[in-house]
Amino acid sequence: MTTLTYQSISSKLTLMILAGFWFVGLALPQAVYGSRWEYVKTYEGVDLFKALQASEGSLPFRATADLDVPYQKIVMALVDVERKNDWAPKLKSTAIHAQLSANEFEYSEYYTTPWPFKDREFLLRGTITYRPDQVLFAAVDSGSQRYAREDHVQANIEILEFAVIPLSAEKTWVQFTFSGDLGGWIPSFVKTIIQKKWPVRFIQSLQRRILTGQALETARYRSLEKGPLVIPR
């Protein structure tokens, strides 16, 4: 009886320890990047933050801004991937490889990089989640090389999130968070430019795309599973 009890307790402790490691593994990106950002400066109307801790080789940034556009139009522009390269900086094209559900996709984004560096591919599994206070676009590495292109360097993404948070019917706060290893060698000054310029230009270009007045709504947007959002008055 004593042996069985000891074995039972030992097994439970082992499971608890393993579960603890699993939980820590899931929570690590949030612990490292979610709550440890330091404000750096406001650049052209966009607030920039740096991560106080980062994994070796990663290139983290966070940017936030208030946009004078309704949140629905931001969502529409972001899901219209066929036209995203018309406005998103350095984006050559986007390819959706598989639609896993109404709000989940496996896709690639192909980016140009300055000569003599090879262009980058982000091969991702992305989700669009409606929460009571926001719409969250999030993506992680696909985990499959089935769609990887040999003529591009593969980037490894730790965090890629774009939160769309309505402040009123006509005003929205956005938060762009990224950390990843872009693959291959990139000099420090280029990394600094990416961290400073890319999120700012992306947010500015997104707002300009919406303010052109061109049609934004697509079949993909209409097919999203949407939840109710609380819009402050």
pLDDT in tens, 119-165: 889 999 999 999 999 999 999 998 778 888 888 888 888 889 999 99
**Would you say 90 and 84 are in contact if contact means Cβ atoms under 8 Å apart?**
no
Q: Which residue has the higher pLDDT, 207 or 54?
A: 207
**Measured CA distances, 163 to 16, 35, 71, 129, 178 (Å):** 33, 15, 10, 10, 12
Positions of E strands within 33-155:
37-43, 46-51, 61-67, 91-101, 104-111, 120-131, 134-141, 153-154
- pLDDT band for position 188 (cuts 50, 70, 90): confident
In the beta sheet, which residues pair with residue 109? Answer: 94, 122
* Residue 33: pLDDT over 70: no
Using DSSP bridges, classify how beta strands 120-131 and 153-154 pair: parallel, antiparallel or unpaired. parallel
- Joined together, the tokens standing for residue 20 give 């603890």
In tens, the pLDDT along 167-186 reads: 999 999 999 999 988 887 77
pLDDT class of 6 with cuts at 50, 70, 90: very low
Per-residue pLDDT for 107 more than 50? Answer: yes
- Looking at 64-175, list the stretches that DSSP marks H as alpha helix, in order from N- to C-terminal side: 71-79
Select the more confidently predicted residue: 233 or 142.
Answer: 142
Alpha carbon distance 155, 180 (integer Å): 7
pLDDT of residue 35: 55
Both tokens assigned to 28: 């690590």
